[in-house]
Structure 1
Amino acid sequence: MTDRGERETCRLQPARGPKAGIVSSSPVKVRVPKAAELVANHLREQIINSLIPEGESLPQEAEMIEQYNVSRPTLREAFRILESEGLITISRGSRGARVHLPKVEVVSRHLGVLLQARGVKLDDVYRARALVEPPAARLVAERKNTADIEQLNAIIEKERGSLEDDGRFSLASNEFHRTLVKIAEVETLCLIVDMLNEMLERHLLSLYMSGAHHKDRVTARRKSVKAQQKLVTLLEAGQGAEAETFWRQHLEAVGAAIAKFERIDQDIDIARF
């Protein structure tokens, strides 16, 4: 692998032949990846495909420099790329870089940065969740799987036992939303909901730390648990359309209830996440 510290471009000659007319006659600039990006790409693929197990340390710098035929600065730049993606953590000493599988918290934070840069409001995130989860509820109802219902009921019991505990209730509530979409068996949808819930959970926890409106929050949680139980009843009965409509209305009401504690028409603030 060539060790190049700068970005390069190359020029491609215009195509010749019968179909050459559909291609611009202007030279095309193609970006050649930096050596550090190529190293990061290779390591990322190994991590994602579990060729390097989670928790394992990468080889020593000297070994990797020889393996990839790059300089130390290039290798360290590759490490910084992977660290920014949450795929490794770098510590001083003999342990070096330790491998991690991708986590939704990292993706959620990047999404938060992007949304904040675009001036997106918190209520937009609540509306997004209200659009995404209800169709999943319909799918779950159509499946009519007893094990699915048992999972959701078990989580509801966790919530009932933690109404007074901000942290425990938030975790259990997030688990309910995540599980509802997970058992719909649409993995992409599950990841989207995970990101949205991660952002909303962090926002709510920062609100709870203020200690304000504690009594009102407990009342709201009881209503939320009651709504979840009604949803589960609809799911168990296989009433997909009713479950979808009911859950959409509930999530919209949740956004309105949160607005009583704090304005959610403000910009997303990634510093709170």
Structure 2
Amino acid sequence: MLGSLLDLKPVETKRASEVIYDQIKEMITSGRLKPGDRLPSERAMMEMLQRSRPTIREALRMLERTGLIRTVAGSNGAIVQKPNTRSVEQALETALQTQALSISEIWEYRHLNETAIVEWAADRRTARDLEALDSILGQARESLEDPEAFIKYDPLFHAALARASKNTVAYLLSQILASSMVTLLDQRMAELDMKIQQAMCRKVLAMHEDIVVALRARDKESARRAMEAHIEAFHEDLKPGSAFVYD
């Protein structure tokens, strides 16, 4: 029969709000709408698109949830903004909290991504990148006795490494993962007494310093080994019930 030869699939009809969302999203991602541009008011969009206010509002809410626009109370139209990674970070945090993602999966990804980052950074880093890393290390060093304050410098350090790699994709992905790593570290620290927390901070700082020494020398192999050691130690220390080892 002819019907059995046709690869027919059900037709999906998008809601009007989704079509409007797609149109505006394409204008933003293509650069036709730029950060700071203002969208027409809800009333103007209703007239332009011949759709109801609830439909327009739903499309705008979708754009706001994905970080493409921001609404300002009392203003006449939403404002286009540079996309951010917060919505993805929140989804990743939720997945971690519900154990949809395992520590081992994160370790595998970090091993692949962050070892590449330090190799690129060893080749591409500038004097300004080194200054930024040194500044973060200095502030972290001053916070060694205060683990809660110290933890905040870990994502800053890894973000600075990613910037030094001069790879925008690597930087964005590292930003998405960073807040989740801090959440895990916070949870692990809460299980330890203050003496061990401070020792853990010293251990992390020493490993960060080793990475910067390798970058300063433009030594890709040493940078990779230092990052591998750091990620491996981080993975072991975050395992539930693991006994933290320190000198």
For this structure pair, what is the TM-score category when the shorter chain's length is used for normalisation?
0.7 to 0.9
The residue aligned with 2:46 is 65
CA-to-aligned-CA distance 1:43-84 (integer Å, 9 cap, x gap): 223444372534x66432111111222121211221232233
Name the aligned partner's letter for residue 115 of structure 2.
P
- Identify, as 1 or 2, the structure richer in strand: 1
1:106 deviation in Å? 1.4
The residue aligned with 2:198 is 218
After superposition, the Cα gap between the structure-2 partners of 1:96 and 1:236, relative to the gap in structure 1 and judged at 3 Å, is same
1:231 aligns with one of 181, 192, 211:
211
1:75-86 equivalences in 2 (<5 Å):
75-86=56-67
Work out whether residues 68 and 81 of structure 2, in 8 Å CA contact, stay in contact via their aligned partners in 1: yes
1:4-23 equivalences in 2 (<5 Å):
none
Q: Distance in 2 between matches of 1:222 and 1:160?
A: 8
1:212 deviation in Å? 5.1
The residue aligned with 1:240 is 220
1:68-147 equivalences in 2 (<5 Å):
68-90=49-71, 93=74, 97-113=78-94, 119-143=100-124, 145-147=126-128
1:179 corresponds to 2:167: no
1:51 corresponds to 2:33: yes
- Identify, as 1 or 2, the structure richer in helix: 2
1:244 deviation in Å? 0.5
Q: Distance in 2 between matches of 1:121 and 1:189?
A: 21
Paired residue secondary structure (2:152):
helix
1:184 deviation in Å? 1.1
Question: Please, which runs of 5 or more residues in structure 1 have no aligned partner?
Answer: 1-13, 15-23, 265-273
1:253 deviation in Å? 0.5
User: Which of structures 1 and 2 has the larger relative contact order (alpha carbons within 8 angstroms, sep 6+)?
Assistant: 1
C-alpha RMSD over aligned residues: 3.2
Q: How many residues align?
A: 240
Q: Distance in 1 between matches of 2:32 and 2:187?
A: 35
Work out whether residues 166 and 205 of structure 1, in 8 Å CA contact, stay in contact via their aligned partners in 2: no
The residue aligned with 1:254 is 234
Q: Distance in 1 between matches of 2:106 and 2:22?
A: 31
State the TM-score, normalized to the length of structure 2.
Answer: 0.80
Work out whether residues 188 and 238 of structure 2, in 8 Å CA contact, stay in contact via their aligned partners in 1: no
